[in-house]
Amino acid sequence: MAEAVGGAAEPETETITLEGVTAYKLDSTGAPVLDANGQPVPEGAATFHTPRVRVKSGPAVWLDKARRLESCAQYVEFARADDGQLRLHTSSFCRVRLCPMCQWRRSLKLGAQVRQVVEVANAQHIAETSAPWRWLMVTFTVRNVEGADLGAAIDRIHKGLNNMAKCARWRGAVKGWLRATEVTHNTNERSAAYDTYHPHMHLLLCVPAGYFSGKGYITQKGWAQLWQHYVGADYIPIVDVRAIKPEGGGRLSDLPAGEQAAAMGKACTEVSKYAAKPADYIVPSDLALSMSAVQVLDAVLNKRRMTSWGGLLKDIAKQLALDDPESGDLVHIDESASADQTAEQIGNYVAYNWALGARDYLKIGQRQGQTPEAERAQHAADRRAVKVGRAAAQQREDAADWWTVETYLDANSWDKRVRAAAVNDLRTLPRATIEQRLQSMVEDLPEEWTDETKTR
Confidence of residue 107 (pLDDT cuts 50, 70, 90): confident
Beta-strand (E) ranges in 278-399?
307-310, 348-355, 360-368
| pLDDT, position 87 | 77
CA distances from 196 to 155, 300, 419 (A): 17, 14, 54
Q: Computed from CA positions of residues 413, 414, 415, 418, in that sequence, does the dihedral angle turn out positive or negative?
A: negative
The answer to whether residue 346 scores a pLDDT higher than 50 is no
Q: Is 184 exposed, middle or buried (0-12, 13-18, 19+ CB in 10 A)?
A: middle
The answer to whether residue 52 scores a pLDDT higher than 50 is no
Lowest-pLDDT choice from 11-15, 178-182, 232-236, 301-305: 11-15
Average pLDDT over the chain, rounded to whole?
Answer: 76
Confidence of residue 405 (pLDDT cuts 50, 70, 90): confident
Q: How far apart are CA 228 and CA 226, in angstroms?
A: 6
| pLDDT, position 252 | 59
The answer to whether residue 264 scores a pLDDT higher than 70 is no
The answer to whether residue 14 scores a pLDDT higher than 90 is no
Q: How far is CA 388 from the centre of its chain?
A: 22
What are residue 9's DSSP bridge partners?
A: 3
Q: How far apart are CA 219 and CA 179, in angstroms?
A: 20
Confidence of residue 92 (pLDDT cuts 50, 70, 90): confident
Segment 295-345, tens digit of pLDDT: 888 888 888 888 899 999 999 999 998 888 777 888 877 655 433 333 334
Q: What is the percent of the chain with per-residue pLDDT over 70, rounded to a whole number?
A: 68
* DSSP state letter for 40: B
Lowest-pLDDT choice from 233-237, 366-370, 433-437: 366-370
Backbone angle region of 26, left / alpha / beta, with phi > 0 → left and psi within -120 to 50 → alpha: beta
Pairing of strands 75-80, 86-91: antiparallel
